């Protein structure tokens, strides 16, 4: 293998340390809206505005100023959050 440069962001290192946080928010929203988690998360991953705005609203209320983007790795089937200022 090779060593990763120190200045890479977490998502660039292909680490998914925020997967559990993203999934927990998505599950809460799905439950609150009476929707199946799988359906809701699929719409979220596909970029549907309503689902994304609901997610971002909660993320920014609970973690203000900490994250500026969310990514989904199709290979790993895991989420990553881009941390502000890194």
**Domain parsing of the chain, residue ranges:** 16-83
* Model pLDDT for residues 39-67, shown as the tens digit of each residue: 999 999 999 999 999 999 999 999 999 99
Among the residue ranges 7-11, 17-21, 23-27, 54-58, the one predicted with the least confidence is 7-11
Please list, in sequence order, all residues whose beta carbon lies within 8 angstroms of the beta carbon of residue 73, skipping any fewer than 6 positions away: 14, 16, 79, 80
What confidence score (pLDDT) does residue 26 get? 98
Phi, psi of 3 (to 5 degrees): -85, 140
What confidence score (pLDDT) does residue 5 get? 53
- Its pTM surpasses 0.95: no
Is residue 8 very low, low, confident or very high in pLDDT (cuts 50, 70, 90)? low
User: Distance (Å, rounded) from C-alpha 20 to C-alpha 56?
Assistant: 15
Paired tokens of 38? 């799988």
Is residue 86 very low, low, confident or very high in pLDDT (cuts 50, 70, 90)? very low
């Amino acid at each position: 293998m090779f060593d990763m440069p120190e200045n890479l962001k977490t998502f660039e290192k292909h680490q998914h340390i925020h997967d559990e946080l993203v999934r927990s928010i998505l599950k809460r929203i799905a439950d609150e809206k009476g929707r199946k988690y799988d359906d809701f998360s699929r719409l979220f991953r596909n970029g549907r505005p309503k689902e994304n705005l609901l997610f971002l609203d909660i993320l920014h209320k609970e973690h203000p100023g900490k994250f500026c983007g969310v990514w989904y790795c199709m290979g790993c089937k895991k989420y990553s959050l881009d941390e502000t200022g890194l």
